[in-house]
Amino acid sequence: MGILNVTPDSFSDGGRYNQLDVALRHAQNMVAAGATLIDVGGESTRPGARVVSPLEELERVAPIVELIHRELDVVISVDTSTPAVMRETARLGAGLINDVRSLRRDGALDAAAATGLPVCLMHMQGEPGDMQDNPRYQDVTREVGEFLSERMTQCAAAGIPAERIILDPGFGFAKTLQHNLSLFKHMEALHALGRPLLVGVSRKSMIGHALNRPVGERLSGGLALAALASMKGARILRVHDVAETVDVVRMLAAVESAE
């Protein structure tokens, strides 16, 4: 899954892709590099990010979803928590709803169910604005698993069956470095929930803190985590650096297919 931010305040590429043609070219390059999903996001959810109005979010996301749907052969994921954005982008060709708030906003469960699309449910305590203030867990992996299980139950009640659900531990969302590392190490426990796992760690501060690297120097750390996540059974890797990550995954597959 290649990341396409259409926010003017995106955390690692500074909103360079907010113009439509530049965004399309970037999506095209990621598809050529081997991305099978493009995750379009109009609301930055990095720590401390500001809230965007539904209209502003829709105006950022809708044109690019429509354009990618027309021009490229790729599944479009929409990174949104906003019911109106779910409904409208589904109409414009989106193929996956990726909600870091796990459909907890008013009307989000019903909107997602009405689209009939698959959804990615992600773990987060609190909101992006305050989530890093004081994250606390007794056992982070167990609590993430319990949260995701509860959200799957809510989805089932709203008419979103388990077969339509992807699960995400939510790396970097209301977690300290130690929480992130422990959750990553024990990620396999989440396979008990019976659904495919999506992992997003690309360029995040957990790499920065572990290696003491600024955001522009986190590729090697990110590729190490991509390899490890794959080996732990993660099925979708949400990344900025598609070509490099595809090489990692293909290399693992080459070894795996040997006698």
The binding site for ligand PT1 (CB under 6 A) comprises 11, 45-47, 79, 98, 100, 120, 122, 168, 170-173, 198, 200, 204-205, 238
Q: Which residue is nearest to ligand PT1 (CB)?
A: 200
Comparison of 111 and 240: residue with beta carbon closer to ligand PT1? 240
CB of residue 28 to ligand PT1, shortest distance in Å: 21
Residue among 46, 101, 203, 204 flagged as catalytic? 204
Q: Is the dihedral of CA 49, 53, 54, 58 positive or negative?
A: negative
Which letter, b or e, does each residue of 142-165 get, where b requires 16 or more Cβ atoms within 10 Å of its Cβ? ebbbebbeebbeebeeeebeeebb
Name the helix (H) or strand (E) containing 237.
Answer: strand 236-237
Helix axes 219-231, 177-185, angle to 10 degrees: 40
Asked if 76 and 69 touch (Cβ cutoff 8 Å), the reply is: yes
Strand 119-122 and strand 165-168: the pairing is parallel
Comparison of 82 and 258: residue with beta carbon closer to ligand PT1? 82
CB of residue 207 to ligand PT1, shortest distance in Å: 8
Burial of 198 (0-12, 13-18, 19+ CB in 10 A): buried
Comparison of 120 and 225: residue with beta carbon closer to ligand PT1? 120
Tokens at 35, concatenated? 């991305």
- Round to whole Å and give the CA distance between 108 and 10: 24
For the question of residue 238 being annotated catalytic, the response is: yes
CB of residue 10 to ligand PT1, shortest distance in Å: 9
* Residue 78 main-chain phi, psi, to 5 deg: -115, 120
Comparison of 228 and 257: residue with beta carbon closer to ligand PT1? 228
The CA-based angle 51-182-204, given to 5 degrees, is: 40
CB of residue 259 to ligand PT1, shortest distance in Å: 36
Comparison of 109 and 259: residue with beta carbon closer to ligand PT1? 109
CB of residue 51 to ligand PT1, shortest distance in Å: 15
Q: Give the residue numbers marked as catalytic.
A: 204, 238
